[in-house]
Amino acid sequence: MPRTALGKMKSTSRSRATDRRAVVQSVSRAYEVLRVLREATTPMSALSIAEAAALDRTVVHRLLRTLLSSNLVLEEATGFRLGPGTVLLANRYFENLLVRRLAIPYLLEVQTKVIGDRSWSLSLSIPVEDLLAIVERIWASNTPINLVLDRGDMYPIDTTTVGTCILAYFDEAHTRRLLGDNRYKIIAPNLEAVRKADGVWAARSNSGAEVVGAAIRTRSGQPIAGIGVMGHDLGDDLGINSNLANRLREAANAIGKSLP
């Protein structure tokens, strides 16, 4: 083997070993427990958590006791679920989220001047790993309650209109790592269409809801968030060249230019 190749292999091995030493295993395992509970819709037993997290049951028991002491986890008769301590962490993050602070005036303007009294909901979302998380929502008083309450706050990013807008501006290699080849191949044609439409996309979901979204990009072009309007009756506004799409594109671009 050439000496240079051997040197690279040794360097890579040292780098991986350093990365492993830099990770605190107990913290990593605790996060995995919290991640499992985040995805659960009902309380879970310690055994179920251990199986889902691929961790030893004894280790999970110790982690749960530690998390319970910090209110990050609650124990009920039927199992464990996320505790109120996670709300405090999330709220602090929201308060410090610059894009949210900058976006709210533009969201209110879209709500007032574009949506008005139509029964649509307006949202601001951010990418988190391979999920899209809603961090702000605005809706009219006559918006159907199911459009507000029956919608979650997290979705696989590639299954959403706004998520598609954001993914279109990620580096292709990053998007492939994030989604895997199969999910990437399915969404790739839409990503190209979003770029041609200067950051907007419109689609009808499997549930029948109609959505128009736009990516928020920094001055360097990095996508960090997205805004979207959802309703069951967007009509002529369900399109990438509609008045709604143009207004969302303008708002997204204005928010992006306000970012450092």
Cβ–Cβ under 8 Å, residues 226 and 163: yes
Cβ–Cβ under 8 Å, residues 44 and 78: no
**CA atoms of 177 and 170, how far apart (whole Å):** 11
Long-range contacts of 40-48 (CB under 8 A, 24+ apart): 40/81, 42/78, 42/79, 42/81, 43/76, 43/78, 43/79, 43/80, 43/81, 44/79, 44/80, 44/81, 45/79, 45/80, 46/79, 46/80, 48/79
* CATH class entry, domain 97-258: alpha beta
Q: Is 90 exceeded by the pLDDT of residue 12? A: no
Mean of pLDDT over the chain: 89
Residue 229, strand partner residues: 122, 212
The pLDDT score that the predictor gives to residue 150 is 55
Give the number of other Cβ atoms within 10 Å of residue 112's Cβ: 10
Domain boundaries of the chain, sorted by first residue: 3-88, 97-258
pLDDT digits (tens, 9 = 90+) for 33-83: 999 999 998 999 999 999 999 999 999 999 999 999 999 999 999 999 999
The pLDDT score that the predictor gives to residue 51 is 97
Cβ–Cβ under 8 Å, residues 127 and 157: yes
Instruction: Please tell me the pTM assigned to this model.
Output: 0.82
The percentage of residues in the chain with a pLDDT greater than 70, rounded to a whole number, is 88
Q: Which fold has domain 3-88?
A: Arc Repressor Mutant, subunit A (1.10.10)
Does 3-88 match 97-258 in CATH topology? no
**CA atoms of 260 and 166, how far apart (whole Å):** 18
The pLDDT score that the predictor gives to residue 232 is 86
Q: Is 70 exceeded by the pLDDT of residue 118? A: yes
Higher pLDDT among residues 221 and 150, named by residue = 221
The pLDDT score that the predictor gives to residue 158 is 96
Distances (CA, A) of 73 to 60, 63, 66, 70, 228: 12, 10, 9, 8, 32
Q: Is 50 exceeded by the pLDDT of residue 168? A: yes
The pLDDT score that the predictor gives to residue 152 is 62
Distance of CA 39 to the CA centre of its chain: 13
